């Protein structure tokens, strides 16, 4: 995990003003890859004290826009953030508990997957989400409700809600 001076230098290099909330959010995402917004807010509040939800949302948007964070949102899940942005990697998601892990590119080169048809597009990135059951959930006894007993409660803010 980068130190505060490293994070400050990263912000300056991205031409972003160094603020305590930006440093705290970037540190939180480095410390907890694939964290959801509420987890990041909780971590930032432990570090800084009271900070508004909106301030954290604004920082996440600024850091994502500057390319310092990547926002992922697997189907049926809340948005999550990661600081691993320098490569075109993919993710695997546990259907039971919602855990997310990184998966390196299938072929190792961007875009690491070549579509059968490109329809005239210049492809520069591929995003793949693998779904399965993590080792912890595979080893857990299944209750009468089956996998439903292990389904995580996903906190969804109004900004993250998906409407049909």
pLDDT in tens, 48-67: 999 999 999 999 999 999 99
CB atoms within 10 A of CB 24: 22
Q: Which of 130, 131, 132, 137 is nearest to 151 (CA)?
A: 137
The CATH topology of domain 87-150 is Dna Ligase; domain 1 (3.30.1490)
Whole-angstrom distance, CA of residue 70 vs CA of residue 49: 25
Domain boundaries, the chain: 4-72, 87-150
The CATH topology of domain 4-72 is Arc Repressor Mutant, subunit A (1.10.10)
The pTM assigned to this predicted structure is 0.76
What percentage of the chain has pLDDT greater than the value 70?
82
- Overall average pLDDT of the 63-84 stretch: 94
With a cut of 60, say whether residue 146 has pLDDT above it. Answer: no
Which residue reads 């993919």 in tokens? 90
- Overall average pLDDT of the 108-134 stretch: 79
Tell whether the torsion through CA atoms of 56, 62, 68 and 73 is positive or negative.
Answer: positive
């Amino acid at each position: 995990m980068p130190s505060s001076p490293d994070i400050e230098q990263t912000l300056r290099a991205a031409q972003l003003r160094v603020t305590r909330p930006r440093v705290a959010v970037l540190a939180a995402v480095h410390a907890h890859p694939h964290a959801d917004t509420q987890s990041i807010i909780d971590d930032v509040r432990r570090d800084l004290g009271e900070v508004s939800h909106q301030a954290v949302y604004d920082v996440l948007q600024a850091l994502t826009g500057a390319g310092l964070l990547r926002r992922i949102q697997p189907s049926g899940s809340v948005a999550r953030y990661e600081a691993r942005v320098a490569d075109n990697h993919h993710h695997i998601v546990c259907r039971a508990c919602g855990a997310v892990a990184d998966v390196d590119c299938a072929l190792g080169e961007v875009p690491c997957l070549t579509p059968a048809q490109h329809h005239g597009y210049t492809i520069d990135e591929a995003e793949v989400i693998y779904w399965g059951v993590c080792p912890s959930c595979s080893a857990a006894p299944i209750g009468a409700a089956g996998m439903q007993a292990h389904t995580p409660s996903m906190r969804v803010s109004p900004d993250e809600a998906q409407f049909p």
